[in-house]
Amino acid sequence: MGKYHRGMGCIPCFGPSVLILAFQRQPSLLALSISVLSSLLTILTTQYTHHKLGQPILKTLLSPDYLFYLNSYLTGSHNELIIATLKLFRSMSAFGGGCEKRAVLEGFSWENKARFLHLAIQISVTFTLEAS
């Protein structure tokens, strides 16, 4: 059972570990849970008073184990999962005005850059061919 947050009554605080590890074998549900984490970080960064709620989530996601998971999702073939993971990396780097941007950039797997460039060129060519 998860810990309970003191200020929220009896709502359990499981964190990102439950959302990510629960759906490891189902890419569509995993993409949904990663998208929820991304949206949650975006919401929690809007007010300075909410940063204390988002900081433990961000610290957990920046641990080496979770960065390994997130970077492995970028190399998969499930497009929704790739997009959701990129959104999460963006939300992590923007959280709290970029207070952990350096850690996010160091944890991001830059070896995948060639693959993303290839996908961008492929999408660009497809749109160009459809427009003409």
pLDDT in tens, 25-64: 677 788 888 998 899 888 888 877 777 888 888 888 999 9
The parent domain of residue 81 ranges over 3-131
For residues 74 and 124, the model is more confident at: 74
Q: Quick check: 71 and 89 in contact, CB under 8 A?
A: no
User: Number of folded domains in the chain?
Assistant: 1
Grouping H, G, I as helix, E, B as strand and the rest as coil, residue 13 is strand
pLDDT confidence tier of residue 88, bands split at 50, 70 and 90: very high
Q: What is the pTM of this model?
A: 0.71
In the chain, what is the greatest distance between 2 CA atoms, to the nearest angstrom? 60
Give the per-residue pLDDT at 9.
Answer: 41
